[in-house]
Structure 1
Amino acid sequence: MLSKNFIKRWVQSSKLIRKQSVWSADNVISSPYRDVEIPNSTLYEYVWKNLERWPERTMAVCATTGRGYTYEQGFKLSNTFAANLRRKFQVRDGDVVAVMLPNIPDFPLVTMGILEAGGIITSINPIYTAHEVQRQLVLSEAKIVVTLPETVAIIKEACKMAKIDLPIITIKTNGEVTQEGTVLFNDLTEDVHVDKSCLREVRRSASDVCFLPYSSGTTGLPKGVELTHRNLIANCEQVNEPLIACHNETTETHQDKVLVVLPLFHIYSASVLMFHKMAQGAKLVTVKKFTPEDYFKAIEGYKTNLLFVAPPLMFLMASHPAATEKSLRYIEVLVSGAAPLSASDTHRFFEKANKKIDFRQGYGLTETSPTISLTPKGCKKNYDATGPPIPSTRLRIVDNDLNNIGPNQTGEILVHGPQVMRGYKNNPRANEEVFTADGWFRTGDLGHVDEEGTLTIADRLKELIKVKGFQVPPAELEAVLRSHPSVNDAAVIGVPHPTKGETPKAFISLKPGFNDNSEELKDYVRERVAAYKRIEDFKFVDSIPKSPSGKILRKVLKEQYCC
């Protein structure tokens, strides 16, 4: 039975829907929802704006140890951390602080403290090698690094390679040994003597950059994505639209439980699971290290009712023995993103769960904070689709000449909305490539939109390889391979994989006098990249097919060797 309040909200939200067609005469697709009002505030202010409603509620808790913080504790500790960033580390407005952490309950404290201190967060994958870390530290111009004791050696090696000397703050989660030359996070959050008056000096506005994740964009090596306070707040408000909202109101008798298994260094988890859900007073249940058994145990043990996943987790939940009616019984809303998911995979999961679950599929990018489209509540007719554009968002589907095309025609997806990034940091050439002259962002993805405005992702123009939802840029792996003394040229493509979605496959052209050496190359790459980027499959060829302009013809490689 639907409550009167629910029916009232539904009727009110239904009145927000535009009556006219979402398609304009010139084939621009508008959101079917009313535009949102974006608060003129910083992300820090936005996240804490309703703190007085749920101070005693759990903000974040470790799924394994139960260690965690209430919202009131999180606010106070991050506030003290912010003051010490200003006092002891001379962080000033616009300074970048690197965060290289797994999913732990301290992650929100770190990010909120950085924001309150006037800083910018740049998040680093905690399994990165020193080669990868040093590149991001240099490009982001980071002033400090926050990490765990076990990754201090990697940070120090990265700093040595980059010829920089950065302060390192470490978070001890389970009695680890304090690393020499580092500062303890707890000492900075529990410092009762710090003078917090310095925080009154902070001057940050909605238009300032606050988050700097790194993405490969449509092609090439990772670039710093400049997301402003307004970008992230806008996206939070956009997904609050009643017909697409994936959360419930926090009250005296209810608090959503969200399993944070997706990595918080990634925009999907940082924005949708952390910033947005904290602003709604939800409980974040953080998973530091993933195992299938612990994953299902946490879903059941913490009575997870909101679950946000990428396709590999959907595959797991549809096939793993631990996925049962009992372990999945508390899930009410399930959202899949990061990569397309087929309807058949969704149905296999439903057979396992054997219950009604509000399933959604969303689409977005790091450059769009991230959400662009999301299926509305109760949408069961097309599980392949990602829904219409969210409020205040417009789409264009274009041909190769960037001319708009009409309903049900496949082309590149262009987006315009308040969630679109300011640009790539210090990279005008990349900005010229992704922004049209009139300000539309080119996603590099292929899709089509039906007459009702529902978007379906068809393929990717971009050449990124998606391994378990993670972006693997071929250019990065090719650069590593070409640095080996035996390699004359290299090309990397993504090939289907039963559990990873895709995996890299390398094509190698050797220099004269060298023999096939796949094991040596495999080890060489393994030492220089994160585990999910490693290459297991090598093919040695006489030459790499290229266009007259020198662009690798990956399509030719796929046709010749992968069909």
Structure 2
Amino acid sequence: MVFRSDYPEIAPLDLPIHEAVLGGSAAHADTPALIDGITGRSLSYAELDAASRRIAAGLAEAGVGQGDVVALYSPNTIAYPAALYGITRAGATVTTVSSLTTAGELAGQLRDSRARWIITIAAFLPVATEAAAALAADPKADNDGDDTADGPAGIVEIFVCDQAEGHRSLADLQASTAPEPTPVIDPGADVAVLPYSSGTTGLPKGVMLTHRSVATNLLQTDAVHVTEPGERILAVLPFFHIYGLTALLNQPLRRGSTVVVLPRFDLEQFLRTIQEQRIEGVFVAPPIALALAKHPLVDRFDLSSVRYVLSAAAPLDAELAAACAARLGLPHLLQGYGMTELSPVTHVVPISDPTPPPGAVGRLVPSTELRVVSLDDPDTDLGVGERGELLFRGPQVMKGYFGRPSETDAMIDADGWLHTGDIGYVDERGYLFVVDRVKELIKYKGYQVAPAELEALLLTHPQITDAAVVGVTGSDGEERPKAYVVRAFGCELAEQEVIEFVARRVAPYKKVRAVEFLDAVPKSASGKILRRELRARAPREV
């Protein structure tokens, strides 16, 4: 059977994302749109809208135009949305970059996305310039999208959000006297945002999210959860992640709420900001929910302003959710479900429901269809209470993976159903429960870790002849990457050497946390790694 939303159907929102979000700014002109949770500096809606328009003018004057890609490589700051919407106003696509990325990873994303400009911060310039240099020296670079190597390419310019000698800043761009660009954007075809995701498996891929898919998903989410004008939202989850981008920027700024920004998660600063700024809405990933439930620091702060906590990005245990809610004096914790390839939301626990079932990730948003298919026979649809793989169809489904038509076809079938690789079931009230994953992707503290990426890196070590990586769940419920390694003949490679080898080359959340040496990696007759066997032999603690 096909599960459909109980909410009324909606029409697609055919607006550029900057218009969908900031089009109503005049109604909240003097309201703080963003507040820096560290310094207290604020930016009103009028100032944010004006800044994005002048940044667009400056970028256009610098050569950025329709169809171009600009990499936004920055931690959370109050300047981030002005840069984001400035890029889209210029007609370009934003590829969001993890603030934890290494130079090698950044170079790979720049190359794959064909980005020609970078907007970053002064502290990140060493990584950005190293990545740009690596890209310029790459003899295999394909710069025009025709699948043939064009030779060395270069980043045209690196801008900074703050100040750095030798680099133009966002303030410099805003000072441009050039006219605001007026690109003709096709919301259904033009890509607004190009975040990177590993999908169900494999290496990170650029997810093409059109203006229409992102804007429409905001409208879909309104049915189950909206922030209110002036409501204070705490933004500590990273903006580069589709969860943070949607829940902490696009959605609240569209509603006239006030977003209080923190650059990173530090528990004491997080709690102090809730107390001092009288935060009402808190969006978290499971590790933060764990801290709120159990850390003794929580008792030192007045968190009585909090009206709700919503957790997403990774599974949250029902008991942990209940403990977190009880600690904060809330009736329950809200959850949501989605993925980058779905722009990202399909389910949210409605804030209006006084008794959602424990552990549920929500109700289906409008204009979205869900099938639960048998793991043994994917052509068989399952009904209420039956567990299978989750498939979705709706206006929020991605356009596809950038430059990867075969991988797009493997993810989205001929009938438009996106295959998530997640296993779940729908109860009699229409609530979704996610219970397992078919896909190989590891979720560490809400971040995606692709086993294939780490395996490819491990195989570059001269003393490793084969390797496999799986996620192993610890006693805290967190999944961490563990490597199974086959040493080259006669080598005495040690566990710590392998851990350090990987750590030097990847972002911190991708680090291998444990290593076990094998005589051979178990594989099927077709050569596929038998990860289930490896998980079965892994100890719980990592």
TM range, smaller chain: over 0.9
Q: Look up the match of 2:17.
A: 43
Distance 1:325 1:521, change over 3 A: closer
1:480 aligns with 2:457: yes
Distance in 1, matches of 2:423 and 2:17, equals 32
Return the alpha-carbon distance in structure 2 between the equivalents of residues 188 and 204 of structure 1: 26
Q: Secondary structure at the match of 2:207?
A: strand
Identity, % of aligned pairs?
A: 36
Contact 1:312/1:499 (8 A) holds in 2: no
Structure-to-structure mapping, 1:118-197, within 5 angstroms: 118-163=91-136, 164-166=153-155, 167-172=157-162, 178-180=164-166, 182-189=167-174, 191=175, 193-197=176-180
Checking the alignment, whether the CA contact within 8 Å between 1:331 and 1:357 is kept in structure 2 is no
| Equivalence for 1:59 | 33
Secondary structure at 1:200's aligned position in 2?
coil
SS in 2 for 1:225: strand
State the Cα deviation string for residues 249-300 of structure 1 (Å, max 9, x = none).
x2xxxx1111001100000010121011111011111111321100101111
Structure 1 residue aligned with 2:314:
339
Match of 2:54 among 62, 73, 80: 80
Asked whether 1:219 is paired with 2:201, we answer yes
Tell whether 2:435 aligns with 1:458. yes
**Counterpart in the other structure of 1:15:** none
In the TM superposition, residue 206 of structure 1 has moved relative to its aligned partner by 3.9
Q: Does 1:117 align with 2:99?
A: no
Deviates more, 1:100-109 or 1:357-366: 357-366
Residues 519 and 393 of structure 1: is their aligned pair in 2 closer, same or farther, counting only changes over 3 Å? same
2:463·2:493 contact (CA, 8 Å) conserved in 1?
no
The gaps in structure 1 that reach 5 residues or longer are: 1-26
**Is the Cα contact below 8 Å between 1:332 and 1:358 reproduced in 2?**
no
Cα separation, 2, equivalents of 1:203 and 1:474: 37
The more displaced of 32-41 and 439-448 is 32-41
Q: After TM superposition, give the deviation of residue 356 of structure 1 in Å.
A: 3.3
Partners in 2 of 1:179 and 1:508 — Cα distance? 45
Helix, strand or coil: the match of 2:112? helix
Code of the residue aligned with 2:443 in structure 1: it is K
CA distance 1:381–1:235, shift in 2 (3 Å): closer
Number of the residue aligned with 1:104: 77
The change in CA–CA distance for 1:36 and 1:275 in structure 2 (over 3 A counts) is same
Paired residue type of 1:298: T
Shift of 1:327: 2.7
Quote the offset at 1:202 in angstroms. Answer: 4.4
TM-score of the aligned structures, taking structure 2 as reference length: 0.93
Question: Is 2:420 aligned against 1:443?
Answer: yes
Shift in Å, 1:350: 2.5
For residues 193-208 of structure 1, the aligned pairs below 5 Å read: 193-197=176-180, 199-208=181-190
**Compared CA separation, residues 561 and 333, structure 1 to 2 (3 A):** closer
Mapped to 2, the partners of 1:381 and 1:35 lie a distance apart of 23
What does residue 231 of structure 2 align with? Answer: 256
- The one-letter code sitting in structure 1 at the alignment partner of 2:161 is I
Q: Distance in 2 between matches of 1:208 and 1:294?
A: 39
Q: Which residue matches 1:12?
A: none
Q: State the aligned residue count.
A: 520
What secondary structure does 2:501 align onto? helix
Report how far residue 324 of structure 1 moved. Answer: 3.0
Distance across 2 between alignment mates of 1:497 and 1:110:
39
- Which moves more between the two structures, 219-228 or 514-523? 514-523
By how many angstroms is 1:359 displaced? 2.9
Whether the aligned pair in 2 keeps the contact of 1:101 and 1:125 (CA below 8 Å) is: yes
Instruction: For 1:185 and 1:51, locate their aligned partners in 2 and report how far apart those are by CA, in whole Å.
Output: 21
Report the alpha carbon displacement of residue 344 of structure 1 after superposing the two structures with TM.
0.5
Residues 405-444 of structure 1 aligned to structure 2 (within 5 Å)? 405-444=382-421
Q: Tell me if 1:322 matches 2:304.
A: no
- Is the partner of 1:159 in helix, strand or coil? helix
The structural deviation recorded for 1:498 is: 4.6
Of 52-61 and 399-408, more deviation after overlay is shown by 399-408
> 1:334 touches 1:357 (CA, 8 Å); kept in 2?
no
The answer (yes or no) to whether the contact 1:47–1:276 under 8 Å persists in 2 is yes
Letter paired with 2:481: P
1:287 aligns to 2:262 (yes or no):
yes
Query: In the alignment, what sits opposite 1:13?
Result: none
- Of 283, 299, 308 in structure 2, the residue corresponding to residue 308 of structure 1 is 283
Q: Which runs of 5+ in 2 are unaligned?
A: 137-152
Query: RMSD value over aligned CA atoms?
Result: 1.5
